[in-house]
Amino acid sequence: MDKTFEESLGFRHACKVFDESKKIAQKDLEFILDAGRRAPSSFGMEAWKFLVITNEELKAKLRPLCWNQAQITSCSHLVVVLAGIESVKVESGIPKKRFARREMPEDKLDFYLNLYAEHLKETLSSDENIYAWTAKQTAFAAANMMSAAAVLGIDSCPIEGYDKDALEALLDLDKSKFRLSMLLPLGYRINEQSSQQRLSFDEVVEYIN
């Protein structure tokens, strides 16, 4: 039975080791990936891509580049979350295509495209700035995937502890198109869940009346 949202919040934790004998069913995997696909993105650009790795040899090659973390090889599926670079550039023609999905007249399309280019002038001025902007947004996709996984009783661990340049090279990424944002191993826990340490509600929330 699927967990309620409340239950899934308590279930999700940064799983350190997965049970290698348990594999995620394809339909569950697709549910999780689809939750990532449906995440919100700035101006609706969807500047992300998810690579799904199951190849054990490749996982073994990746692990030493990820602080030797056991999640990389023990997981059922390793999702590599990529941040888009080229696709958000006006000259790629893709932002126009993204806006055009809303079926608007040409003058309105031009208006949005100008607004986009103007508002994001600084952001779009270098690939590094673009990466900072799009990588931030991939966190929403990753969070959606972790939440969707938890609803199904599937574990995850967001991973940023790695040598980014080395991983991008090993994965043969064309960095003008996509760069590495996060790793998201998925699978089933083998150990008991760690206790959730969080600041109190009042430390985190401040009302401004």
Ligand X SMILES: Cc1cc2nc3c(=O)[nH]c(=O)nc-3n(C[C@H](O)[C@H](O)[C@H](O)COP(=O)(O)O)c2cc1C
User: Binding of ligand X at residue 159 (CB under 6 A)?
Assistant: yes
How many angstroms from the chain centroid is the CA of residue 12? Answer: 16
- Binding window for ligand X (CB under 6 A); candidates: 104-112, 125-133, 155-163, 199-207: 155-163
Of the candidate residues 157, 180, 184, 186, the single one contacting ligand X (CB under 6 A)? 157
| Span near ligand X by CB under 6 A; candidates 56-64, 85-93, 116-124, 156-164 | 156-164
The one among 2, 110, 128, 160 contacting ligand X by CB under 6 A = 160
CB distance 84 to 177 below 8 Å: yes
Place of tokens 């502890």: 161
Shortest distance in whole angstroms from residue 195 CB to ligand X: 9
Does 161 bind ligand X (CB under 6 A)? Our answer is: yes
11 binds ligand X (CB under 6 A): no
Q: Is 69 near ligand X (CB under 6 A)?
A: yes
